[in-house]
Amino acid sequence: MDTKLYMRYMMQYIKEAIDNSDGSNAGISGYLQDKKISGLLVQHREEKKRALTDAKQAFSEHRHWPIQIVLSQLGIDYKELVGGT
């Protein structure tokens, strides 16, 4: 598995979830639970599926944690994800 692709897809899925939800852990978790990786010719299927599975698990198991802590557990900097300084 390519870890750079894995992290890129994880950041993409979480950013998408933040943008399309209320920004709470529950909202992010709900959005991620509805997201599917499908199709026969999906490139980087393993990395995409693993990234989505790990993001779903982190946000569903830690709904009561601040989002910055959940992201840090996944190896993502909140400021980098949302484009802050």
Mind listing the pLDDT tens digit for each residue in 18-48? 999 888 888 899 999 998 888 778 888 899 9
Place of tokens 């393993």: 46
- Report the chain's mean pLDDT, rounded to a whole number: 88
> What local confidence, expressed as pLDDT, does residue 6 receive?
92
Residues 6+ apart with CB under 8 A from 45: 37
What does pTM read for this prediction?
Answer: 0.86
Q: Provide the pLDDT confidence category of residue 84 given band limits of 50, 70 and 90.
A: low
Q: Which of 75, 59, 47, 46 is nearest to 16 (CA)?
A: 59
9 near 44, Cβ under 8 Å? yes
